Amino acid sequence: MQKTYRTGEETLLRAYLPATLIEQWALRPEQHPLWGVWLKGSLMFCDVSGFTAMSEKLAQVGREGAELMASVLNGFFERMLAIADGWGGAQMKFGGDAMLLLFSGDQHADRAAAAGIEMQAAMGDFRRLLVANETYRLRMRVAIHSGRFYGASVGQTDGTLHYLLIGPDVNRTASIEGAGEPGQVVVSPEAAAELSPGCRLVARDGVWRVRRLKQPARPALEHHLPASSDSLKRYLLAPLATPLLEGRLPSFSGEHRRVTAVFINLIGLARLLETHGEAQALAQADTYVKMLIGAVERHGGFLAASDLAPEGDKLICLFGAPLSVEREERAALRAALELDRELRSSGLKLRHRIGISSGFVFAGEIGSSTRREYTVIGDTVNLAARLMAASQPGQILISKATIERAGSGFDVQRLRPLRVKGKAAPVAVYRLRDAASEHLVEQDCDTGPLVGRDRELAALSGLAREILKRRRGRWAYLWGEPGIGKSRLTRELAAQLEAAGWRQIKATCQMHTWHTPFAPWREALRTLLNFRPDETAAELAERLSSAIEKARPDLAPYAALVGELLSLPVPDVPAISSLDPNSRRRQLTSLLVALIESVAKVQPVLLVFEDAHWADTPSSELLTEVLASSARYLAVVTSRVPEAAPELSAARAPVRIHLPELNQDAARILVTSTSRLSEQVLETVVARAQGNPLFLQEIARLDLTSADSIPETINDVILTRLDRLAPQEKRVLRLASVIGPSFDSRQLYVLAGGNPAPVLVDAALIELGQLGFTRKQEEGAAGYAFSHMLTREVAYETLPYAQRRQLHKRVAQQIEHEYVARMDSPCELLLHHYELAGDQSKVIRYATISGDKALAVFALKESLEYYQRSLSVVSALGKGFEGDHSQLLERLGDCLDTMGRHREAAEKLADALHEWRN
């Protein structure tokens, strides 16, 4: 089959989008996003057994297990899709270890069956696979059904689009797959009727097994994109589409990430097609997918894929990949609840059931060189699919890991443990019923005493005294990096001021509401007006109207504006309906300021406006109006960024307070107040956290056995920053993480291998320095260093294990080349890199040399450890390394003798002598 590729962009579109979608799009010159078409042909469903057992085993290996799984899958898909492509099969969907292919045109059933037979023959190469020292056997079922399949384009008019393949015949294809045995190709009666004469078929359980086939002619096809393909890009996963629409090619290398996977089984579309026709089914599918995309993208997630199911259709959403989301578990749960509420009130004749799971996965491209998709692989994904299958229509089932990391704020019911495929033991399951609270604060150093912040607290307390004296408001802009203690400081201030008779009003900005006008002020108004959960909407509306009447009688007719903001039934009046949008906003702002001022007349007010970096523009503008008020208030605006929003420039100049890192004494006090650690571990914790209170507390909570692991909460924060980097900056940072905490630009040039070029490496280093990821070293030291060790560790942990090994080997070879003519080679550093590269012979060499160097300076304990490391590798390798083994025994004996451990030394020397003689 000949393919015509014009550009890298075209190659990517053809790889990520089904050929059927591209061809149908080219036939629609109007390119309206909502359309559907019946496709006649044969649908092939290929399901592989053996991957589930492999996945469960490899999950015990850790993160590298998912990476190995991806490698095997890609090798499998490369082979199978090449065969299917040769017979004119269009890959429609990937489903983990399954494939869905459509054969259309002349002899579609014959070509599908021929492809199936050839693919089954090729499975011989996958019957025995050695992966991570375990042997696995893969087997495949192939089911083919001929009929009509409805291809539907649905989604947002100006945003993300999605292509669905739906209908009774799609579900029929999934249902007959189980009728065949592994190694067989089975066809439905409808497909059997389409096969050419001369085929040999054997009936079995309502389907036909293909035993022999008259070879059909291979198709000769060319694939071209339509002249204008911009709209096609909207069918891609959003992080892929965005760079393409900006004229750039996206870049997503494989990496390890924490994600929350949401699996949705949408039920009812096939029935609608049969009973109400395609127009009704298309409209309802479009409405549902619009609701889904809206809910998911509002919370930072993506609709990643759709797939067939025995009943209904499967939709898969990801939170945390390919771009990270802060606290993706909470984001996923909120999105699922929003979607469920919208479906219940929509009037659609559809139902759904949802499964959600969280954990580490391998994320990257799965498929072949010509047809692939971005996906995630691992136990987390499998569990989400199992929970979806176990749920009832209308239910949302979630894993233990998801609810534990999501934390409080959700109404869940613990169910009986569930036995699921791929798990030896039953798994804990929870039913998600509701979000108990809308309020969600950024995680900060919540526990322990306030330490190292006396100066900042004194400055804020001084402002409060000044306000009482001059009876005029002031505001402070409090900024610092995530986890530095902004919320902890404002809580301490609030406790002091409330004890002195102040009233606190709090408005918290959140990532998932940054586009919702006045979102943080809704929380503040409920607090301001003393709303109680047990009050009815009518009672709350009456209280709101009464408060406005007291605060500003002249604005009372406009109370419905605030009622609308709080979703309260305040009667509308003609004066409001005659206002244009700008006038409505001005009146609403005046009302909100009046309510705050009315409270400030009775008692001084502390207004805490948290996480202003997530503030929507109207909220910032309202804050500006409040700050211009003459009321008795102290406003503390917290943010991660040093500069306030442009909307606040109209306000009076603030008192700017930057929260720096804690000094080491304060860090020790904070850690020891919440943990009991040995002095050695305490110093390690203090050094690694580099003065960040949240980091200090999170690291201190680790078990001693995992003291080198980064807490997942910190991982999330740093990943969010890494994902905002341009591709070449992110690549340079990840390459640098392999070298170590400090690195030289020349090392990066070699490691990058021209991707990116040296001039672009230099440009990336400048940008990384400006963003605070790296810093220039002092003169005489290596050129650059990571600003925070944890940043380096997180960047490194995202690298696939195979890539890590390759990069460590290149770093080691570069060091060897540099020191080839010198006697002072950094053998310990070479040992480090070669160990991580998995080069055992080099590990033996440099561990032995390191032991010799340590022994030469009487670092006996270290020398002994190096020799033992070398000996363990030699012992594991066995045959061919007998000479090394006896030499190391001799070295161990000498070292032990020098340490005064004469009996052990004599035993090692005797063993060495025995080996020499034999």
pLDDT tens by residue, 496-509: 999 999 999 999 88
Q: Report DSSP letters for 364-376, one per residue.
A: EEEE-SSSEEEEE
Per-residue pLDDT, 276: 92
DSSP 7: S
Q: Are strands 784-786 and 742-743 parallel, antiparallel or unpaired?
A: antiparallel
Instruction: Answer yes or no: is pLDDT of 587 > 60.
Output: yes
Residue indicated by tokens 């850790």:
62
Instruction: Answer yes or no: is pLDDT of 865 > 80.
Output: yes
Instruction: Answer yes or no: is pLDDT of 665 > 80.
Output: yes
| Residue range 319-374, pLDDT digits in tens | 998 888 878 999 999 999 999 999 998 889 999 999 999 998 888 888 888 888 88
Cα–Cα dist 880/900, whole Å: 32
Cα–Cα dist 891/847, whole Å: 12
Cα–Cα dist 296/317, whole Å: 8
- Give the mean pLDDT of 283-311: 90
Cα–Cα dist 176/193, whole Å: 16
Domains of the chain: 8-433 (3.30.70.1230), 454-658 (3.40.50.300), 721-917 (1.25.40)
CA angle (545 as vertex; 543, 546 as ends), nearest 5: 65
Reported as half-sphere exposure (CB side, CA atoms, 13 A), residue 653 has a value of 1
**Minimum mean pLDDT range among 105-119, 501-515, 553-567, 619-633:** 501-515
Per-residue pLDDT, 511: 65
SS3 category, 754: coil
Instruction: Answer yes or no: is pLDDT of 609 > 80.
Output: yes
Question: Pick the residue with more confidence: 881 or 593?
Answer: 593
Q: Is the pTM of this model over 0.75?
A: no
Residue indicated by tokens 């199936």:
116
Q: For residue 515, what are the β-bridge partners?
A: none
Q: Quick one: what percent of the chain has pLDDT higher than 90?
A: 30
Q: Report DSSP letters for 263-296, one per residue.
A: EEEEESHHHHHHHH-HHHHHHHHHHHHHHHHHHH
Closest CA to 248 of 227, 233, 232, 231: 233
Which two three-digit tokens encode residue 43? Answer: 């649908």
One-letter amino acid at 195 equals L
| Residue range 732-778, pLDDT digits in tens | 999 999 998 888 888 899 898 888 888 888 889 988 988 878 888 75
Per-residue pLDDT, 61: 72
Angle separating helix axes 882-898 and 902-917, nearest 10 degrees = 160
Q: Quick one: what percent of the chain has pLDDT higher than 70?
A: 89
Instruction: Answer yes or no: is pLDDT of 637 > 50.
Output: yes
Instruction: Answer yes or no: is pLDDT of 5 > 50.
Output: no
- Give the mean pLDDT of 536-560: 88
How confident is residue 158, by pLDDT bands cut at 50, 70 and 90?
low
- Give the mean pLDDT of 526-544: 82
Contact criterion met (CB below 8 Å) for 629 and 526? no
Question: How far is residue 447 CA from its own chain's centroid?
Answer: 27
One-letter amino acid at 487 equals S
Give the best-scoring range by mean pLDDT among 99-108, 439-448, 569-578, 697-706: 99-108
Per-residue pLDDT, 338: 92
Per-residue pLDDT, 443: 44
Instruction: Answer yes or no: is pLDDT of 823 > 80.
Output: no
Cα–Cα dist 458/465, whole Å: 10
Question: How far is residue 668 CA from its own chain's centroid?
Answer: 33
- Give the mean pLDDT of 805-820: 88
Per-residue pLDDT, 698: 63
Question: Pick the residue with more confidence: 432 or 675?
Answer: 432
Instruction: Answer yes or no: is pLDDT of 782 > 70.
Output: no
How confident is residue 221, by pLDDT bands cut at 50, 70 and 90?
low
C-alpha distances out from residue 241 to 153, 159, 231, Å:
16, 10, 10
Cis peptide before 826, with omega less than 30 degrees from 0?
A: no
Per-residue pLDDT, 477: 95
Per-residue pLDDT, 448: 60
Per-residue pLDDT, 693: 84
Instruction: Answer yes or no: is pLDDT of 572 > 90.
Output: no
How confident is residue 783, by pLDDT bands cut at 50, 70 and 90?
confident
Instruction: Answer yes or no: is pLDDT of 704 > 90.
Output: no
Instruction: Answer yes or no: is pLDDT of 33 > 50.
Output: yes
Q: Report DSSP letters for 688-718, one per residue.
A: HHTT-HHHHHHHHTS-GGGTTSPPHHHHHHH
Give the best-scoring range by mean pLDDT among 1-15, 76-90, 779-793, 816-830: 76-90
Instruction: Answer yes or no: is pLDDT of 600 > 90.
Output: no
Radius of gyration of the chain (CA): 32
Per-residue pLDDT, 437: 44
Residue indicated by tokens 């569930």:
418
Per-residue pLDDT, 266: 96
Which two three-digit tokens encode residue 425? Answer: 């033991």
Question: Pick the residue with more confidence: 489 or 518?
Answer: 489
Per-residue pLDDT, 444: 47
Instruction: Answer yes or no: is pLDDT of 419 > 90.
Output: no
Q: Is 166 left (phi over 0), alpha (psi -120 to 50) or beta?
A: beta
DSSP 819: T
- Give the mean pLDDT of 671-689: 75
DSSP 418: B
Closest CA to 304 of 16, 77, 34, 531: 16
C-alpha distances out from residue 355 to 150, 260, 388, 429, 590, Å:
26, 10, 4, 10, 45
